[in-house]
Amino acid sequence: MWEVVASARVVKNPSAHAALKPWAERVRRRLADVDWRLLSDLVPVPTISIVGFVCPPPSTSVPDLEVELATMVAMAPLVQEGLDIWDGPRTEAIQALHADPAGGLERLAGEIRDYWEAAIAPYWPRIRALLEGDVLYRARLLAEGGLRRMLSDLDAAVTWEEGTLRLPKAVCEGVRPLGGLGLLLVPSVFTWPRVFSITTPPWQPTIRYPPRGVATLWEHRESDPPQALAAVLGRTRARLLASLDQPASTRDLATRLDLSEPGANQHLTALRRAGLATAHRTGRYVLYARTAVAETLLAGDATSHGHPRAGAPHLLPD
């Protein structure tokens, strides 16, 4: 849900989001036939704040759009109060939502479904892989260096000192003790380049931040596999290993390298058994990542023979 809401900002003002502009230029054609006026009104640009019931924090580690839409529709009792204190526009569609919260949220849910199918769904496998890969990366930082190590790498504007997390806030200043609620970290492609936070009750304290690799999300530069490594592993397995610069699923890798999914899975299984790749399940998906041994092998070959030659970028399909 948040990716839908945050991406609406990009569609409405692509010039302010250089790294996301290739995506915006593609999807604006698809959205020409989609009615998303209410969603657009609820996400004004420039975006100072977004009313809470539109995109509450996810309740699971692997969010599902339909579950989140059902949660939003159930928030009809919060709509009028939320809109009364919101500093956004009072358009005709917003006024209709205020007058009939239940009916308005059903309309909004329909708009979000249509927007999702046109603008997000074609790119979701790659977006999801980037987001879930960042979650694995954060977990590794937490294991290696604790909370300070993980948070210090989150964003230049976020600081952690003496038990206090400081976040940039455009419209208010204040302190909120977590009081045992915990802090939810949500990587978000369309948040880039900002950090968004939720600090006001009754919502779960949340930070939405851009993951690593957003700038390269819309294209893939395939590198020639290291020759020495290819001689040992075979060219296909060396290509797979070189492509795991970010964690990826079998389907994503098969699509990138023009392999069948069973064939890609067979090679990935062999790499995992050799200690060159790891597999992590996130919900229904399994993401593969390179191990430290694989990183050393790739880095050693680049040092000895020069960096791999990058080919032409392959943009995601229209």
Alpha helices in 153-171 (DSSP H): none
Q: Is the pLDDT of residue 317 over 50?
A: no
Residues 6+ apart with CB under 8 A from 207: 154, 158, 167, 183, 184, 185, 186, 195, 196, 197
Most confident of 61-75, 165-179, 242-256: 61-75
Q: CA dist 27 to 65, 110, 131, 234, Å?
A: 19, 18, 20, 39
H-helix or E-strand containing 93?
A: helix 92-99
Q: What pLDDT was estimated at residue 305?
A: 43
Q: Does domain 218-315 have CATH number 3.20.20.140?
A: no
d(Cα 83, Cα 308) in Å, to the nearest integer?
54
3-class DSSP assignment, residue 174:
coil
pLDDT value, residue 300: 62
Domain-wise residue ranges, the chain: 2-125, 128-213, 218-315
What's the pLDDT tens digit per position in 18-39? 889 889 988 888 898 899 999 9
Query: Which of 9-13, 166-170, 262-266 is predicted with the least confidence, judged by mean pLDDT?
Result: 166-170
The confidence band for 316, taking pLDDT boundaries of 50, 70 and 90, is very low
| Structural contact between residues 200 and 169, judged by C-beta atoms closer than 8 angstroms | no
Cα separation of 137 and 240, whole Å?
19
Average pLDDT rounded to a whole number, residues 50-65:
82
